[in-house]
Every structure is written in structure tokens, then in C-alpha cells.
A and B are shown apart, each in its own frame.
Chain A
Amino acid sequence: MSTTLERWEPVIGLEVHVQLGTATKMFCGCRNLFGAPPNALTCPVCLGLPGALPVPNRRAAELAIRFGLAVGGTIAEVTRFDRKQYFYPDLPKGYQISQDKGPIVTGGTVTTSFFGDGKTIRLIRAHLEEDAGKGQHEESGGSTLVDLNRCGIPLLEIVSAPDLRSAEDAWAYLNELRLTLRTLDISECDMEKGSLRCDVNVSIRPRGTTPFGDRVELKNLNSFRGVERAIRHEIERQAALLEAGGKVELETRLWDDEKGESRLMRKKESAPDYRYFPDPDLPPFAVGRAWVDRVAAEAPELPLKRLERYTSVYGLSDYDAKVLITDPSICRYFEETTALCNDPKNAANWITSELFGLMKGGVSIDDVKVRPTHIAELVALVKDGTLNVRSAREVLAKQYEDPRPAKEWVEKLGLVQVSDRDALVAIVKKGMEMNPKAVADLKAGKEKAAGAIVGYAMKETKGRGNPAILNEILAELLKTF
């Protein structure tokens, strides 16, 4: 703990915006996709043409409800949309459709079970809104181009209570939130693609006191680590101000990750008046119990529920289970493998120790050529004695580059395990003759001595001897040797 933190207690709250993984935009039928050519995914509604009207996307509301249920929040019985008004070139209507007074979710909590110390952070609300477009300033000529593909993509804004007390807390909360959102297929939460964005409110107060200090809002945070750095920097900045006899101004600051510092964006006095009012184009809509129940029934399993299943039903260790669960794509991969080979423990082992060993430098499991079918086949081949573990490992390494079926590699590399009893009996006999001391030790009850003989047999079979059969033969021969 820095000396600052001995004197000051930070109070932190986060506003997280996530793009919802719907097929279409929030209020029109345009596709919700990242990376299309500029303005290709637009129509009169999201362009804000005169005469166009919004029609709400029910799927977006369902994903919001799914989130609300996952965090134990209250789902509004009637939810409504408001207009948040400001002028900006990337906002073609001159207002953003959002929810001010009737958010679809209020309350709920997030507990940092996977990434933190199990702290529970309260949520104030989560509401639906539409994304704005993107302005791009040209390097030369000073003109600005506007791409409205993003305009109208559904967003869920999740506002936490000021329950976080450190940069680490904020990092853990963000990761935990992302895990929930990704596991529930609500959002991709990819900060690089802008499908998760985050603003932070920070204030500090002398340790041991309760009133909140004046808070500063930080914007332009581009990674979770950036959030942590920005918070640490802001705590130090505020502490320095206060310790020098100054005061913290209510203001919004922009974080510059490269420079590792923030600069003033606007003071509170110049904060915009958004003139919220109920959007007359969108009547309030009732969220009936039946609808909520249906959303609950089709929701994927929550991370904690999954952890319980992996440890109790699959018999995985807490550690292994968490490794799988914290990355939903790995989890999906594991589930597919398990469904194919019906052996969760071995599937988990092959994925987390063998496959991970081959994956280097941030490769995503979705891009790996070895698919769940490959892993399931290897697990089965080892189980039925065709391959021993060493050979299977060799096959996997080959498949990682060239994902042909294991059987082809086994043939090509001549890796079929030798289980021919007569051949193995001869080899074991020879090994015993060559290692009289080991035989004597074995007879004296020193089981470890078997290693020398089995090792010899493995060497003779180029590693393909079936270890189980070798041990069996050795035990038998010992009786008469």
C-alpha cells in the first residue's frame, strides 16, 4: 500500500456501457455488426431522417432482463424510454434514446468470486439506450467524417454504487461483470472493438471518515489495466491537491494512457443540460411476468452455478474449473469436448495442460485448429489402449499444426501402442535378466524398482508398450522368476 492509501480511502463507482449481442439495432432493422464499410449499415431510422420512427428491439430488452435476473436486480414492471438531448455530429437526431426515469433494471449486485476477494458490489441500475455514430477527424484538410454504422446499436449502461475502494477492486469488478455478460451471451465485451466502454467516478476521503469527497469523472479508458492505472493516478492527484491545502473540483477528465495522466475535459458548471423527457414515439411498455419467466428459462447457466457443477458433477478441481469458466470460449470448447468423449476430467486435463501448453502468445482457443473432436478422439484412444499418453501428446503436437484425424497421425508416426502379450513377455523377460538387482529389490518389496524394467521395455518398444500390460506381465513373471 502506498503511503497515500494509508491516509486516504478511495471511493469508486463505475458506469459501464456494453453493446448487446442482438442481430439488429435497437430501434431499426439494420444489422448489428462491427467492421462493415462506413455507413453501410444504416437506414432512415438510424440516420434520423425526417419522418422516420423508432420501433424497440424486443431482443435487446430480453438481454437486459437476462442481465437483471443474473445480478438479482428488480425488473421494471413498466419500462419506458426518454430522450437525452445534445448536439453532436455523430448523433443525427440531436438526441439519444435512453432511459432516465424508468430503467429496465434497478438494483442487483456483482460479487468478485472469480477475479477478486469475493467482495459484493451493489448496482444502482442498468438501462437500455442506443449507441451514437463515430466521428473521424481527417489527418489533413481538417474535415470530419461520420460513420453511422454504430448509431443505434443497443447498449446496456450498468451503473455501480460507489462501493469500490481500490483500483484492484475496480479491475476485479470489471472482469467479473464481463464474465457474467459473456457467459450469458449478452455482450462480447470487447474493449478494443468498443463493445465495452467504461467511465469511472473517483473521490477520496480521510481513512476512518464516512462523508464522500467531491468526485471526478474519468473518461476515455481503453482497457481494464488502463482503468486501474487511471484510478491510481487520480487517487494520487486528488491526495496531492488536498494535502497541498487545495480542493478537488467536480469535473470530468480525459485519461491519456500513453502519457499516464489525465486532463480536464469540462467543469461541473459547464455540464450539459440533457433536458430528458419521455420519448413520445415510444409508449411505455409492460414487462409481464410471463415474459420474464421465459427469459429466465432460456438464460445460460451463471458462472457460479457452473463452478458448482464442474466441481461436484464433473469432479474437477476448483482451480481447473475456474480456468475453464473464466473464459467462456474455453468453457464452450470444454463442454463440446466433454459431450463427445463423456470424460470431463480427462477433457479438462488435455485442454488446460496439453493444449494450453501449445498455445502461445494470446492465441484464442476459437482460432486453434485442434477442435473438440480432436481432443475427444485422443481421450478415447488413450482410454481404449490404442495410444499411451506420451504418444497422444505427440499426436496433439502434430495436430496443432495440421489438424488431420488422430488415427492418420498414429499410422503415419507408427504410434500404435504394443499390446501384443507374447511380444511384451519376451521383452520384459529380457529386461529382468538384464536387471537382476531390480528383480531382487522388487522381491524385497521395493516397488519403485519396477521402473528400471518397465523403462527398458518402453525403450525397446519405442515408447509404444502398453504400460498397464507391461506392469501386469512383470508382476506375473516375478512370481516364477
Chain B
Amino acid sequence: MTGPLPLKAIADSVRSGARTSVDVATEYLDRIERGAALGAFLAVDRARTLAEAAAVDARVARGEALPLAGVPVAVKDNIHAVGFTTTCASRMLEGFRPPFDATVVEKLRAAGAVVLGKTNLDEFAMGSSTENSAYVACRNPWATDRIPGGSSGGSAAAVAANLAPAALGSDTGGSIRQPAALTGTVGLKPTYGRVSRFGLVAFGSSLDQVGPMTRRVEDAAMLHDVLSGHDPKDATTSARPHAPTAPHVGDGVRGLRIGLPDEYFGDAVDSEIRASVESAGRALEAAGAVLKRVSLPHTPHAIPTYYIVATSEASSNLARYDGVHYGRRHPEAVDIASLFTGSRSAYLGKEVKRRILLGTWCLSSGFYDAFYDRALRIRSLLKADFDAAFRDVDLVLCPTTPTPAWRLGEKISDPVQMYVADILTGACNLAGIPGLVVPCGTTGQKDTRLPIGAQLLGPAWSESLLLRAGAVIEAACWDPSFVPSFGSAS
């Protein structure tokens, strides 16, 4: 075999009877065991997954048309899948078993996919390195002393190491795209409202979207088509019908105008990364696209704006973890106040508490206008930046991260350094537009090769264009069948 198969090939093989869904699931469950040291998974249940796979085999035998027949998918542990716990990598939700499937998981299961397990993340998706997991640190398969990015670090590491052919992530300020870039995988953050958030544990509700993390652009398109669409259980999903993207992935970029935003190529971004993304741009040009410089002038305000909006919403979304109705309850609580404060103090992690405090402060009487309200106004300026740019160009191409994957522990004691890692990804969520990250090369420093991801941003509902451009970059700059050996590097 020539490395990991595309999802379509896996589904074809199961549909044709060449392999069973149980065979495929077994293969990946075995890999997960061998790759356990990566810390990519928080929950794996072999019996459960094999039972799901056997059920898919039975459906295939009955002749059901299943687009994802037997495709194992790892699910970030802040997305509900009945049969598995949802911990959000928090002690607070240790052992919490959701009574319902997230709409995205329901859709995957309906399409014949099998849930392979739940992947590691920064607690409640708050972080950029997956070091904020209350359970286990997650490692980058390209260099296991390095972080895989975050917060969907477990999903990214699992796909990069081929412990799963595909995974679900969630992206609030870059949590799909940044780890995809740092692990050499493909990650799509869809347009806000394209994919249901029902069953995704909320962090920043006006920013959160669920999206696919895969080895290949065509795989991301295939999953995106299954996940997309209006959900009557999520009032923020759009009623706009979803036009399938997978059939158009190979349509190319001839005649597309692609913008390179000045603000994303500044000195704060590692020169190797800039060079690599510029070479991705040349690949697009060679395929018939026209490159143009554009400006997104409010970009420097994206990070403070993002951290005000996201933490404000988080402070509210996480109020429900109070030890009263579910989750962990502090054993020494003697009254209501000590039940609340005791449980929250004991079972929420440091970064989560930091963000709750920050958000609570931003929404407090007397500060609301100066912070939250002003952040909303800057948010609309950022949106207007993109609107203006997209009058001149069809898409924007830019780096995803200022640096390649850093070492575990390197930034964990400096939250602001960590927050700056989101500098190139947060504006996309604030504007509600889609973003795709495709690997476009590696750093060549010393003996360490670390992946670099090119980020494509487009106007709302332009996922199909993003995926077309992504496929061109992938074809020119990357070998999706390459799996790092995940040994330690220095």
C-alpha cells in the first residue's frame, strides 16, 4: 500500500466488500494503541467502535447508500458522541456522558462513519498548544518534544500520525487551522452558520464552528459536505442550501484573483513561513490564478478584539459548570456558595479560570462599553476590511501561524505569548468567514523538519473556492501520503 488512503477509497473498499468496516476500524484502533504516547486520544473504546463498525457492515449489506461507509472519524472531546464521555479535557466534566449526539456526529453516523474515539484538546478548547488539557499533554508527531498546536491538537496529531484517517475539530480563533498548520494536515473552518453547533460544548458561541481535519483537501471537502446544512436545533445555522464542494475540488483556479494581505506577511512572521506561503502563491499563479496585494488594515486589532469577545462569551457559557446539576461537585461544600465556588475552584483549570475572569470583567457594569461594546464595533471594522478586500479578489492567501510548532512548556507560563499565536487566525472567526489551511512545505532548519500551513480565507459561503485553491497548493507543494515516524527530535 502507498500510505494512507483517501476517505473515498476507504468508503469504496467497504462498499465494494473488499474490506469490512470492522477491518478498517481494527486497523486504526491498532494504530491508536501503537501511537498512545502521542496523547492524541482521551477516550477510545475498542468494543464500542467495533460494534459501530459491525452495524455499518450490516447497513452496507442491506444496500444502504453510505457516502462514508466504514470511514473511522476521531471526534474532538468537546463534541458529543453518544457512547463516549465528553470531558472537554476538564476535570469538571470527568466522566460526563452526553445523552445526545451532536448534530455533526449524527450526520457522520448517518453517512456510515464510525466514531473512533475522542481526541485531546486544551481544556474547553482554550489554548493554542493542547498543553491545557487536564489529562495528558499531546505531542506533535513531527517532533514529539513539540506541541501539536491547539486547541484541536489531539485531532491534528491523530490525523498527522495516521491514527485516524480524519477527525472533527472546532475552531473559535484558529483551533482547527493552527494545529493543522503545525502538524501538516488540512483543516477547514467553515463559514459561521454553515455547520450546526448543537452538541458542540460552547466556548465563544458567536465564533465557534465545527470542521474537518484530514490528510487531504478532497477528504476535507467530502466531510464538509456531510457536516453542512441548516439544523433546526441551532438557530444560528443558515437556511441557505449547501452546494456540494467535493465534485469541484479539482476544478482549479484559472482566472481566480488571489490577494496577499500585507498585514499577514510582516516581520512577526517567521521568514521561512513567509517564503513557503509565497511559494504556495506561485503555485496558484502557475495554475492560472492572478496574485494581488491587498490590505486588511484593522488586522492589528484582531487579537485584543478576539480575546474580549471570546472570553466574554466563555464567561457566560461556562457559568453552568457549578457542581449543581452535573459534572464534578466539591465534596466539602456546605452551602450553595461553597458548592459553587468550591466546585469551580477545584475542577476548572488555570487558563479556563483566567479567561472566565477576563470575560466577566469585560461584561461588568461600567466596563461593558469600554470593552465588549467596543470589541463588537471593531469586529464590524474587521468584517468591513474583508468585505472591501473581497471586492478586489476572490480569496486571500496568508500564513496561518507566526512560527512553526514550539517545544512543550516553551510558552505555557506566558499567556500573552500564547495568545499571539492566534494572531493570523482570529480575524476569520470574528468576520464569520471560512478559512482553509493546507500544508505547503516544511522548515528546513538543522535536522528538524516542521510543517508549514498556508491559510486561504474567502467570503462567506466560499468553501468550494477555498477547497479548489487548496487542492492546487496540495498538488504542487505537499505529499499527503507522507506519515512522520513520530520519533523525538530536538
Q: List chain A positions with a Cβ less than 8 A from chain B.
A: 44, 47-56, 83, 85, 87-89, 92-95, 144, 146, 273, 275-277, 280-283
Contact = CB atoms under 8 A, between A and B. Distances in A.
Contacts of A95: 316, 319
Contacts of B99: 44, 49
A54 B364 contact: no
A55 B232 contact: yes
A273 B365 contact: yes
A51 B316 contact: no
Contact of A273 (B200, B234, B313, B364): B364
B320 A94 contact: yes
Nearest to A56: B235
B201 A83 contact: no
A376 B198 CA distance: 55
B88 to A, nearest CB: 7
Contacts of B234: 53, 55
Contacts of A83: 316
A395 B322 CA distance: 64
Given A50-B93, A55-B235, A94-B320, A280 B313 contact: yes
B100 A44 contact: yes
B325 interface: yes
A92 B326 CA distance: 10
B334 to A, nearest CB: 10
Say whether chain A's binding surface is mostly helix, strand, loop, or mixed: loop
B316 A55 contact: no
A50 B206 contact: no
Interface residues of B, number: 44
Main secondary structure of the interface of B (DSSP, over half): loop
15 contacts: A50-B88, A51-B79, A51-B100, A51-B198, A53-B233, A53-B234, A83-B316, A85-B319, A87-B319, A93-B320, A94-B316, A94-B318, A275-B363, A280-B205, A280-B206
Contact of B80 (A51, A85, A89): A51
A276 B366 CA distance: 12
Contacts of B58: none
B360 A275 contact: yes
A54 B236 CA distance: 10
A56 B232 CA distance: 11
Interface string B344-380: 0000000000000000100111001000100000000
A275 B365 CA distance: 6
B324 A50 contact: no
B197 A53 contact: yes
A295 B80 CA distance: 39
Given A49-B98, A50-B98, A51-B80, A281 B236 contact: yes
A82 to B, nearest CB: 10
Contacts of B167: none
B369 to A, nearest CB: 12
Top 10 closest pairs, chain A to chain B, by CB: A94-B319, A280-B206, A280-B205, A275-B363, A50-B201, A51-B199, A273-B365, A89-B324, A93-B320, A48-B320
Given A275-B364, A275-B365, A51 B312 contact: no
B98 A51 contact: yes
B312 A277 contact: yes
B325 A92 contact: yes
Interface of B: 79-80, 86, 88, 93, 96, 98-100, 102, 197-202, 204-206, 232-236, 312-313, 315-316, 318-320, 322, 324-326, 336, 339-340, 360, 363-365, 368, 372
Contact of A51 (B201, B206, B368): B201
A372 to B, nearest CB: 41
Contacts of A89: 322, 324, 336, 339
A170 B319 CA distance: 38
Contact of A283 (B201, B235, B318): B235
A56 B234 CA distance: 10
Contacts of B368: 275, 277
Nearest to B337: A87
Nearest to B101: A51
A48 B235 CA distance: 16
Nearest to A45: B233
Given A87-B340, A277-B363, A280-B206, A53 B235 contact: yes
A97 B202 CA distance: 16
Contacts of B360: 275
A49 B201 CA distance: 9
B319 A51 contact: no
B319 to A, nearest CB: 2
Contacts of B326: 49
B205 A281 contact: yes
B363 A51 contact: no
Chain A CB within 10 Å, residue with most, of B86, B197, B316, B340:
B316
B470 to A, nearest CB: 29
Contact of B200 (A48, A51, A146): A51
A54 B234 CA distance: 7
Nearest to B88: A50
Nearest to A271: B365
Given A51-B200, A52-B198, A277-B372, 18 more contacts: A49-B99, A50-B86, A50-B88, A51-B80, A53-B234, A53-B235, A55-B234, A85-B363, A88-B336, A89-B324, A94-B320, A94-B322, A144-B336, A146-B325, A280-B236, A281-B205, A282-B236, A283-B235
B316 A85 contact: yes
Nearest to A273: B365
A51 B76 CA distance: 13
A146 B326 CA distance: 13
B374 to A, nearest CB: 13
A88 B322 CA distance: 9
Contact of B325 (A47, A85, A144, A277): A47
A87 B322 contact: yes
Contacts of B199: 51-52
A87 to B, nearest CB: 5
A54 B324 contact: no
Nearest to A54: B235
A48 B15 CA distance: 40
A54 B202 CA distance: 12
A136 to B, nearest CB: 14
B248 to A, nearest CB: 29
Nearest to B200: A51
A47 to B, nearest CB: 7
A44 B97 CA distance: 12
Nearest to B325: A92
A88 B199 CA distance: 24
